[in-house]
Each structure stands twice: as structure tokens, then as C-alpha cells.
């Protein structure tokens, strides 16, 4: 039997958002109010990730004062440096940065000659202890060649709620699936990218399995891939049993298994909480991932399982 770490690791699930902005960059609410709102909405943790560029003072916002019983914060930033193939600046999510992380020479949102590349700043963030994800690939106009270059990344942002509500470019699965099919061991995150200037908040999150709700335990679990992502449904278990994938969840109407290329299979029904999906159509894929959809159209996604 094969199961993702999220369903075998000790501890419990903690709900958190990994991509958030405040008035320290281009958000409209001060950091303390952003943290208050996420805490009030029942989140267990939050990473405030303001834009790490010179025009905002290269902020890594100290959110420690806004922690409370049952609610913690992780320091981080959305870092920028170098140009993608389309000539625009890289956007890379770095959660768990030290407060003294050295800035790149990124004075604004325009690439600058001689500044470090996106791959270099991503690698430097990982070396500094951060969990690093390629942010909003569809919104950024990311190419596969761009994505291949960020070899230090732990994850791809596969759903970005702000990009869904703001421009209908929320998807990261196209890039993520191609990288997985090339053998990259990546995890998949859903986030808000909240600025609170439009309905871009409380729409996508991660459920992290850890023994305690502390920055250290959460970061370790994120790096290990011990989590799943959701817009609402809960995944209770995902396991490979022989030639089927068994998905335990809250009530859903569709359960899908995806693999390399055209490999995919779906089962549809009503109020399904334990679903067996045959693997016959996965075409021998070395990896698979799971999607469930509830009656309201909300989704949850597993991390990849390597067979």
C-alpha cells in the first residue's frame, strides 16, 4: 500500500495560507489586521509574504507580535529577481525566510541588468531555510523552460485565488504536471495571494500535517510534502491498493486520479466519502495525484504519489 506522507505522518492537520500581502507592499490592510482576519476565519497559521523589492524597503515583516493562542505566523516574502523568458520579473514565494535575508538588487518590478537570476535567488532562499514555491505560473506567463530553471523549488503554486478572482489565471497544473513527468519531485500548493483589494482571500489553502502548530514544525512538514491543498473539501486518506486508488474525503461528487500525459480516470456520484478509482487509464505513469470536487464545485488536491 502506498500513501502520501500527509496521511501517514504523526500529528494533526493545520490550516494555513502561504501567500499574503499587506500595506508593507501592495496590500490594502496593515499586517496586524491581515493576521487578525485570518485568525478570525479559523486559520491556524499565516505567512505574510510582501513583495521583496526596494521600492517597498525589502520587507520581511515581523508578524511575531500578532501570534496568539492557536494561531501562529511564519516569516516570509515574495522575492523577485531576474527576467523570465517573457522579459518580466520572477515571482518566487519564500516561506520561512530569516529576518536578515539579503536583498537582491531589485529596486522595482522591472528586471535590471546584472541582478541575480530567479534560479539564484530561489536557491539562496532555500539555503537560508525557506520553503520555496514557483508562484502563479499561468498569471506570470511562465514557460516550461523557465520552470525547469528553478531547480531549488520545493513546490509549484497550482491554485492562486487572487489570480482566479482578478484575471481568471489561477492555474499551475500544466507546468507542475510537465515537471513531474520529467521526474521533478515537487509538491503542490493552493494559496490566496490576498491583497484585500478584491475578493482574493479565504479561497485556497494548505492543510499541513504536523505534531504542533509552530513555525518550525510547519516548515519541516511543508518541505517534506506532508500536506494537501483545498478550497473546501477535506481529504481524509489517499492510498494505492493494488490497481485502484482509494480516496477518503468529505462528501464529494467527483474523484479523479491524474498521471503523466493523457493518463486520468474519474468517478462521479453523490455524497461520495470513500471512492475507489481504477488506475487502468493512467498509462503506466510513475506518479499520480488526486483531485476531489464537492457539490459546490470546490476542489481539494493531493500531493503527487510516486509509484
Average pLDDT score, the chain: 97
Split at pLDDT 50, 70, 90, the class of 1 is: confident
Domain boundary among 215, 230, 245: 230
What is the number of structural domains in the chain? 2
CA angle (229 as vertex; 231, 219 as ends), nearest 5: 135
* Domain stops at, among 210, 230, 250: 230
List the CATH number of the domain containing 273: 2.60.40
Indicate whether 81 and 51 sit together in one domain: yes
Are residues 105 and 215 both part of a single domain?
yes
* Beta-bridge partner residues of 14: 208
Q: What is the rounded CA–CA span in Å between residue 258 and residue 269? A: 18
Residue 221, domain CATH: 3.20.20.140
Of 198, 230, 262, the last residue of a domain is 230
Percentage of the chain modeled with pLDDT above 90: 100
| Stretch 59-63: mean pLDDT | 98
Note whether 297 and 177 are same-domain residues: no
Q: Name which of 158, 139, 27 is nearest 89 in CA terms.
A: 139
Report pLDDT digits (tens) over 288-306. Answer: 999 999 999 999 999 999 9
Residues 191 and 300 in one domain: no
Residue 145: the pLDDT is 98
Residues 132 and 179 in one domain: yes
Q: Residue 183: left if φ>0, alpha if ψ -120 to 50, beta else—which one?
A: left
**How do residues 148-172 score in pLDDT, each as one tens digit?**
999 999 999 999 999 999 999 999 9
| Same domain as 79, residue 170 | yes
In this structure, the answer to whether residues 148 and 173 fall within a common structural domain is yes
Same domain, 248 and 298: yes
Residue range 173-211, pLDDT digits in tens: 999 999 999 999 999 999 999 999 999 999 999 999 999
Co-location of 224 and 255 in the same domain: no
Question: What predicted TM-score, i.e. pTM, was given to this entire model?
Answer: 0.97
221/243 same-domain check: no
Residue 59 in this model has a pLDDT that exceeds 80: yes
Q: Note down the domain range covering 273.
A: 235-306
285 with 219, same domain?
Answer: no
Task: Verify that 192 and 283 share a domain, yes or no.
Answer: no
Q: What are the tens digits of pLDDT across the range 3-49?
A: 999 999 999 999 999 999 999 999 999 999 999 999 999 999 999 99
Please compute the mean of the pLDDT values over residues 254-276 and round it to a whole number: 98
Under 8 Å between Cβ of 306 and 5: no
Amino acid at each position: 500500500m502506498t500513501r502520501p506522507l500527509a496521511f501517514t505522518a504523526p500529528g494533526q492537520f493545520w490550516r494555513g495560507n502561504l501567500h499574503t500581502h499587506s500595506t508593507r507592499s501592495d496590500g490594502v490592510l496593515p499586517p496586524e489586521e491581515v493576521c487578525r482576519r485570518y485568525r478570525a476565519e479559523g486559520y491556524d497559521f499565516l505567512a505574510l509574504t510582501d513583495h521583496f523589492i526596494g521600492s517597498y524597503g525589502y520587507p520581511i515583516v515581523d508578524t511575531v507580535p500578532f501570534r496568539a493562542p492557536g494561531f501562529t505566523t511564519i516569516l516570509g516574502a515574495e522575492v523577485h529577481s531576474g527576467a523570465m523568458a517573457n522579459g518580466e520579473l520572477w515571482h518566487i514565494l519564500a516561506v520561512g525566510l530569516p529576518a536578515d535575508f539579503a536583498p537582491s538588487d531589485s529596486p522595482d518590478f522591472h528586471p535590471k541588468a546584472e541582478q541575480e537570476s530567479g534560479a539564484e535567488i530561489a536557491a539562496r532562499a532555500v539555503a537560508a531555510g525557506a520553503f520555496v514555491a514557483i508562484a502563479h505560473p499561468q498569471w506570470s506567463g511562465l514557460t516550461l523552460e523557465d520552470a525547469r530553471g528553478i531547480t531549488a523549488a520545493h513546490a509549484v503554486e497550482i491554485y492562486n485565488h487572487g489570480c482566479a478572482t482578478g484575471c481568471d489565471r489561477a492555474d499551475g497544473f500544466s507546468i507542475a504536471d510537465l515537471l513531474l513527468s520529467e521526474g521533478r519531485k515537487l509538491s503542490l500548493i493552493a494559496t490566496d495571494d490576498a491583497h484585500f483589494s478584491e475578493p482574493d482571500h479565504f479561497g485556497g489553502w494548505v492543510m499541513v500535517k504536523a505534531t504542533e502548530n509552530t513555525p518550525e514544525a510547519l516548515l519541516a512538514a511543508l518541505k517534506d510534502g506532508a500536506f494537501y491543498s483545498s478550497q473546501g473539501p477535506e481529504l481524509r486518506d489517499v492510498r494505492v491498493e493494488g490497481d485502484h486508488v482509494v480516496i477518503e474525503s468529505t462528501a464529494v461528487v467527483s474523484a479523479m486520479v491524474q498521471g503523466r500525459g493523457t493518463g486520468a480516470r474519474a468517478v462521479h456520484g453523490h455524497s461520495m466519502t470513500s471512492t475507489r478509482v481504477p488506475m487502468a487509464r493512467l498509462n503506466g505513469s510513475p506518479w499520480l495525484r488526486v483531485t476531489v470536487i464537492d457539490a459546490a464545485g470546490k476542489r481539494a488536491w493531493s500531493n503527487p504519489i510516486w509509484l
